[in-house]
Structure 1
Amino acid sequence: MAHPYTKVRLLFFICLFSLFGVNSQNAEVLGSVNAEDSVVPYVNILLKGTQLGTASDEAGIYKLSNIPPGNYKITATVLGYYPYTKSISLTANQQLRLDIELKILPEQLDETVVTGTLKPVNRLESPVPVEVYSPTFLKKNPTSNIFEALQNVNGVRPQINCNVCNTGDIHINGLEGPYTLVLIDGMPIVSGLGTVYGLSGIPNSLIKHIEIVKGPASSLYGSEAVGGLINIITKFPIEAPDFVVDAFATGWGEYNLDIGTKFQIGKSTDVLLGINYFNYDTPIDNNEDNFTDVTLQDRISLFQKWNFKRSNSRIFSLAGRFFYEDRWGGELQWTPQYRGGNEIYGESIYTRRWEVLGKYQLPLKEKMLFTFSYNDHNQNSVYGDISYLADQRIGFAQLVWDKPLASHDLLFGTALRYNYYDDNTTATSFLGNNKADEVVIPSLFVQDEIRLAKKHSLLLGMRYDYDSRHGNIYTPRMAYKWKFTDHDILRLNAGTGFRVVNLFTEEHAALTGARDVVIAEALKPERSVNVNVNYMKKIYADNGTFINLDASAFYTHFNNIIIPDYDSDPNQILYDNLNGVAVSQGLSANLDFVFPNGLKLLVGATFQDVSNTEEGIRSKQILTESFSATWNLSYDFRSIDLSVDYTGNLYGPMRLPLLGELDPRQEYSPTWSIQNIQFTYKGLENFEVYGGVKNLLNWTPNNGNPFIIARSDDPFDQNVQFNSSGDVVATADNPYALTFDPSYVYGPNQGIRGFFGLRYVLN
């Protein structure tokens, strides 16, 4: 007979093995939690109707174990995101991999922004209206560069300035490209020569978001920030996916590849690495003028960002970028052997550019941040038989002290900017001797944001710059915010601006070789006064629909504005200070709808009047539309993991540069639109497959015009006859009395095309 203690032990082991057997039948669910290619930490994950739950860790990873077989609903919730629910079925011993993709709530639009005030603030609390565009917005119409991506931002228009080389700039609220300052991580790294090329080569996967300020910002950022600024914020390494590849090709033979990754060096250094490569080498001439419709390009860009962990979470980061591009456009027979000659016309541009920028928070009790940047831009260009060889270097250093004091939020700063520019043109030639343009501009600025009451705040700012060429320059600024309800905000911004012009780094029309450039002596700095009124309202409907209204009225008044005169002489571009005033004024509004069924609509419109008045004669500014609109319609077919994005823009007529009274081309552009559609399938783990059609309407500027490039059959004007006054004479060979001119351009000359891409993201 067994001992009673033996029976007890036997019973204990039987129960233990039984329990182990039951547990061995249990399943587990594991995966990552992401949103817009970024991990989401500390998300609550539960199985509805049970006590089983967990939370994602700092890297967004979660794991649910010991789940009995059965059918469940798994939920994921965290502040700022839509709740996630998915039905799952588990069998014995199953390990289910489930990566959760969260959707950002509309309230997440109130994220932290830095551009308006030089300090991190909640977007709703900023006295300066800041528009924020996420990588998701960029994905809705995939492009190879930020320049093209901005075509779907209301009030912002990428302007192509040359039919042959396809260089361009960014217009904000009708103001020319040089009035827009472009920054990377808050550093004025993109300016002058770099405006054309600096918006290319930043992998979209490494962009956290883009902040846009429409209106005066010279008191914080200096000369170029007269009409507005664009700040490209890159991700910190901890926010980025472990590895991402995004590649697409188009029916025109364009190929774009983005690669991004992150890694650690030791315990205190995180590194972000991005590579962008773009290639287009198939000459296409759909308008049959023997010129390439689109510039051929071979481009590579390398970007790296280092983030160093320090005590007390102090900031220290370094970033660098190298950019090289070989682009050419011209007659189809052109090859590099004709570069710079007068046999076959071509415009060939070799660009080499490198940049470095950094942020370092001083190890003090006071919050003081030192930022710096430096870029070196080398350009070797030929426009037909005219060469343009240029070097530009810009160094920038800034120290900012952020000091809250009672109801005041003070910001003190000092900056030093170094500009170097040299080329082989008359811009740096004095009495036959070459002399580089080199200047150091020290600056001081102060800003005080005053909390007047619970719903009212006032921002006052002043900047002082000393330019040895122009003396003391003062730019005051004011911003007032009235948050009269939790969902209604009124903002008033006003300020002055100044801009010192270097035409050859900004006006690429001056370099085409088609017209002589005439520069008046002693060009004066441009000065402006800018006022912007902004109203934002949020509406939450009972059925879960969200509506956001963002409307603005703007007014800018210029003195001494420098405008290229194409009209006085068809063979010249005359640059001089306007003897009068220039005004840009208008209304702009965005409406953002988010419906609970997965439908999203963002629509915007801008109406503007941009004119110059000289000697009592008022005229519309050339190459400026009177109205524009953008839209972005998206819908998720959640049951089949398919998203559809329909994007587009619409531009009203703009006055175009004609060559004389006999020029048969249209004086005003028609109302035109570019529309795109994209389908994205997300049903594969870690993969997205996308494709669609760009320019659905097949619109190009040659629609309705006999030609776009004047005298494309005689690009060196060998058969053009002139009279004794230098005017072109009409002949049988030249009945319209024209010279070669590729400056008649107002939109992209690329027709309908399909595209297909693949995106892989590993977290």
Structure 2
Amino acid sequence: MRYLLLCAVLLTSVATRAQHTLSILVKDDQTKQSIAGVTAYINELKRGAAADSSGHIQFNLPTGKYEIKFSMVGYLPQEKTFVLPLKNIEPVIEVYLEPMAGELAEVVVQTNRTNQNRSDVPTRIEALPAEELDEKSTMRPGDIKMLLGEITGVHVQATSAVSGTASFRIQGLDSRYTQLLQDGLPMYDGFSGGLSLVQVSPLNLKQAEIIKGSASTLYGGGAIGGLVNLITKTPAAKPELTLLLNQNSAKGTDASGFYSQQWTLIGTTIFSSYNYNGAYDPGNTGLSAVPKTNRFTLAPKVFLKPGNRDQLWFGVNFMHEDRLGGDMQVINGHADNQHQYFERNLSDRLSTQFSYTHKLDSNNQLNFKSTVGYFYRTIAEPQFLFKGDQLSSYTEANYVRNGKIASWVAGADVWTDHLPQRDRSVDLSYSHNTYGIFAQNTFKPTKWLAVESGIRLDENSPSSASSNGLFLLPRVNTLFTLGKHWSSRVGGGLGYKMPDIFNDDAEEQGYRYLQPLNIGATKAERSAGANADVNYKGAVGDAFLQVNHLFFLTKVNDPLILQNNAFINAPGYLISKGAETNVKLLMDELGIYLGYTYTNVQRHFNGLSSAQALTPKHQLNADLTYEVENSFRAGVEGFYTGSQLLDGGTTGRDYWTFGLLVQKMWKHFVIFINAENLTDQRQNKWGTIYAGSISNPVFKNIYAPLDGRVINAGVIIKLLNNK
């Protein structure tokens, strides 16, 4: 009897410790494709496993009940409960993970030339993916002021009180220290840059990439503050035909169309838009807060694949705009002795783009790209006329090698920029050429460290005083991957800016009364900048959290300033320093975004320090969205702009603005309604925006909205949908 009892105990013990095989296949909830690399973790056992290349995970576990947590970057985490042994269950259990919203999904970036995932690039590159651009394009379909203005660390500054023109500043630095690119090509430099923000429509964009801080190696010394690269859509196998129609309460109408298709060896994209706005004066000030505008844009491209190793594309951009602001009576054709003031900008933009890539093998390729641009602009005011024809070009050849441990980009480029001027008593014509060579290496010896180092040598003609036209620009960035959730980037570099007359002060003055620039008597502005950030991303319960905090510092020596209508080098330097914090939290269909920017720009001239005007120290963005993918989206957003110093020593008040967006999506239709500045904040509510008389106004700094509350509604019609 004793032996029978002992055997029963042993059998019970063996049964308790019996091992069971749990086989799981993890798939994408949308595409139903398997996902490699998913982590499965059993907290009570402190055991984990990762999905193999086919998405399979296997555990050998004793009898019992287990909660297994599945997580993967780009997907919402999920917990599943399993009771072993399994009963009436298939041999392999399928688990589906839901992809996150576009801004947290993995993004491939192009601005660094190596087409890597953003998380693997040592240079800090922010990206607005297609989903976010689709949302922004319904808020303001006629330009990209709102698209850029809602990015942390980027400030959109009005350059005219009546014409609606604006520039953008990165980390508090003047717009002349930033670059706006399209498909990696500098199409908006110099004279043409003053209208770029209000003449680019976003419907044909698939991604926008932003580098804050020095980007000199690949894009020249002028990218002191940073750059924005607008990447346009390319054709897919399935054709796309999208129409956007929009109407707003500020007398604006927008109509845009985009078509694309890829055949076997040839493809095409065609973008066109027409944007109209009637003159709008919501405050009854007698001056246009929004000018009367007519603009037409056409941008066709052709894509060719002549062989397995070759790809090329060629595009043409054409734009014509007539922009008239000023006294409402003058705009409406009722000028008299008292009502005479106006600002008229007539502009034509014609540019070509060409890109060719030859793959030597799977890791090596040669690239050639070029753009030639013609920009004509007339600025007319009472008793003043300025006309200029800008002819510019950029040509680059480079070699790219992508390796497992080290990648290389090396090449040479040539920039030309010429502005012959007509119809003005003082000649502001100029001619400038830059010849550069560059090399950049990305070295990743371990999983936790990657280093991107680069150097550039430029030669300029004509050269400025005491510079000999030669500039050597080193740059280095490092990426530290500190475990599964933490990473940090630290880097910096040198830059320079050749003297010219194109900056925010000249735009605000309308180029009136300016004296010619003596390039032989002015120095190039030289800069040194550094930045460091820390990032966290991971699951917090059923939500996904991403936090980024950035510190930045840039010093510019001998900055060019406008004094008594002449450009001179200031005797000293300016320093921009500050910090940015971005927080994103996703919980199923709910998304929360918070962004804060602290910017402190100080001028140190003649041994004295002063704050830079029109630079708010504090800015806050907050956004709450609810989205059912491909069905419904609603969002509420708020923006705080802190007080800022104005010219003359006065201070502009701080203010909040709020917005609301609702979209309903079907397969072939999207209906949207959007409201901006719901509380109707306007600078002209707080005092007059000009001194003097209405016939000859002298405008004060514009630091707050003038157009007030604006509501727009429209429809997107997807006659052909490649999704």
Short-chain TM bin: 0.7 to 0.9
**Structure 1 equivalent of residue 254 of structure 2:** 256
Structure 1 residues 648 and 318, CA gap change in structure 2 (3 angstroms): farther
Q: 2:676 aligns with which of 694, 704, 707?
A: 694
Q: Secondary structure at the residue paired with 1:628?
A: strand
Pairing 1:328-339 to 2, within 5 Å after superposition: 328-335=324-331
On the 8 A contact 1:289/1:712 being kept in 2, the answer is no
**Structure 1 equivalent of residue 532 of structure 2:** 533
On the 8 A contact 2:582/2:593 being kept in 1, the answer is yes
**Structure 2 equivalent of residue 751 of structure 1:** 708
Q: 2: CA distance between counterparts of 1:582 and 1:388?
A: 31
Q: 2: CA distance between counterparts of 1:162 and 1:240?
A: 44
1:268 aligns with 2:265: yes
Cα deviation, residue 137, structure 1: 2.1
1:182 aligns with 2:180: yes
Q: 1:622 aligns with which of 592, 613, 626?
A: 613
Q: Give the AA of the match of 1:306.
A: V
On the 8 A contact 1:151/1:649 being kept in 2, the answer is no
On the 8 A contact 1:109/1:123 being kept in 2, the answer is no
Q: Which runs of 4+ in 1 moved over 6 A?
A: 81-84, 336-339, 425-428, 513-516, 518-521
Post-superposition Cα deviations, 1:46-84, rounded to whole Å, max 9, x if no partner, equal xxxxxxxxxxxxxxxxxxxxxxxxxxxxxxxx9967799
Q: 2:123 aligns with which of 116, 122, 128?
A: 128
**Structure 1 equivalent of residue 385 of structure 2:** 387
Cα deviation, residue 622, structure 1: 1.0
Q: 1: CA distance between counterparts of 2:567 and 2:704?
A: 23
Q: Give the AA of the match of 2:601.
A: V
On the 8 A contact 2:74/2:105 being kept in 1, the answer is no
Q: Secondary structure at the residue paired with 2:692?
A: coil
On the 8 A contact 2:265/2:305 being kept in 1, the answer is yes
On the 8 A contact 1:203/1:274 being kept in 2, the answer is no
Cα deviation, residue 134, structure 1: 2.3
**Structure 1 equivalent of residue 584 of structure 2:** 592
Structure 1 residues 109 and 131, CA gap change in structure 2 (3 angstroms): farther
Q: 1:654 aligns with which of 644, 647, 653?
A: 644
On the 8 A contact 2:341/2:694 being kept in 1, the answer is no
Q: Secondary structure at the residue paired with 1:193?
A: helix
On the 8 A contact 2:172/2:601 being kept in 1, the answer is yes
**Structure 2 equivalent of residue 464 of structure 1:** 457
Q: 1:286 aligns with which of 282, 298, 301?
A: 282
Pairing 1:75-114 to 2, within 5 Å after superposition: 104-105=100-101, 109-114=105-110
Q: Secondary structure at the residue paired with 2:290?
A: coil
Structure 1 residues 692 and 437, CA gap change in structure 2 (3 angstroms): closer
Q: Give the AA of the match of 1:438.
A: S
Moved more, 573-582 or 149-158: 573-582
On the 8 A contact 1:133/1:210 being kept in 2, the answer is yes
Cα deviation, residue 336, structure 1: 9.2
Q: 2:690 aligns with which of 703, 706, 709?
A: 709
Structure 1 residues 251 and 260, CA gap change in structure 2 (3 angstroms): same
Moved more, 418-427 or 625-634: 418-427
On the 8 A contact 1:514/1:742 being kept in 2, the answer is no
Cα deviation, residue 201, structure 1: 4.8
Structure 1 residues 605 and 654, CA gap change in structure 2 (3 angstroms): same
Q: 1: CA distance between counterparts of 2:515 and 2:461?
A: 26
Q: Secondary structure at the residue paired with 1:333?
A: helix
Q: 2: CA distance between counterparts of 1:712 and 1:286?
A: 20
Q: 2: CA distance between counterparts of 1:426 and 1:523?
A: 23
Pairing 1:360-375 to 2, within 5 Å after superposition: 360-362=356-358, 364-365=360-361, 366-375=364-373
Cα deviation, residue 104, structure 1: 4.7
On the 8 A contact 1:499/1:526 being kept in 2, the answer is yes
Percent identity for Structure 1 against Structure 2: 21
On the 8 A contact 2:166/2:197 being kept in 1, the answer is no
Q: 2: CA distance between counterparts of 1:133 and 1:409?
A: 25
Q: 1: CA distance between counterparts of 2:189 and 2:453?
A: 26
Q: Give the AA of the match of 2:574.
A: A
**Structure 1 equivalent of residue 593 of structure 2:** 602
Post-superposition Cα deviations, 1:445-469, rounded to whole Å, max 9, x if no partner, equal 1112222333112221110110122
Moved more, 175-184 or 238-247: 238-247
Cα deviation, residue 485, structure 1: 1.3
Structure 1 residues 237 and 406, CA gap change in structure 2 (3 angstroms): closer
On the 8 A contact 1:330/1:345 being kept in 2, the answer is yes
TM-score (normalizing by structure 1): 0.77
Cα deviation, residue 165, structure 1: 2.0
Q: Secondary structure at the residue paired with 2:105?
A: helix
**Structure 2 equivalent of residue 321 of structure 1:** 317
Cα deviation, residue 313, structure 1: 5.1
Structure 1 residues 692 and 504, CA gap change in structure 2 (3 angstroms): closer
On the 8 A contact 1:342/1:384 being kept in 2, the answer is no
On the 8 A contact 1:201/1:277 being kept in 2, the answer is no
Q: Secondary structure at the residue paired with 2:321?
A: strand
Pairing 1:300-319 to 2, within 5 Å after superposition: 300-312=296-308, 314-319=310-315
Cα deviation, residue 635, structure 1: 0.8
Q: Secondary structure at the residue paired with 1:362?
A: strand
Q: Secondary structure at the residue paired with 2:148?
A: helix
On the 8 A contact 2:559/2:574 being kept in 1, the answer is yes
On the 8 A contact 1:159/1:747 being kept in 2, the answer is no
1:669 aligns with 2:666: no
1:411 aligns with 2:409: yes
TM-score (normalizing by structure 2): 0.81
Cα deviation, residue 299, structure 1: 0.7
Q: 2: CA distance between counterparts of 1:502 and 1:608?
A: 26
Q: 1: CA distance between counterparts of 2:405 and 2:511?
A: 58
Q: Give the AA of the match of 1:629.
A: L
Indicate the RMSD between aligned Cα atoms, in angstroms.
Answer: 3.1
On the 8 A contact 1:519/1:574 being kept in 2, the answer is yes
1:556 aligns with 2:538: no
Post-superposition Cα deviations, 1:394-425, rounded to whole Å, max 9, x if no partner, equal 11111111135674322211001111112248
Structure 1 residues 712 and 686, CA gap change in structure 2 (3 angstroms): farther
Q: 1: CA distance between counterparts of 2:31 and 2:301?
A: 22
Aligned length: 627
Cα deviation, residue 274, structure 1: 0.9
On the 8 A contact 2:241/2:259 being kept in 1, the answer is yes
Pairing 1:39-54 to 2, within 5 Å after superposition: none
Structure 1 residues 415 and 714, CA gap change in structure 2 (3 angstroms): same
Q: Give the AA of the match of 2:691.
A: A
Q: Give the AA of the match of 2:594.
A: V
**Structure 2 equivalent of residue 678 of structure 1:** 661
Structure 1 residues 81 and 286, CA gap change in structure 2 (3 angstroms): same
**Structure 2 equivalent of residue 118 of structure 1:** 113
| Gap runs ≥5 in structure 2 | 1-27, 35-71, 79-97, 464-468
Q: 2: CA distance between counterparts of 1:500 and 1:650?
A: 35
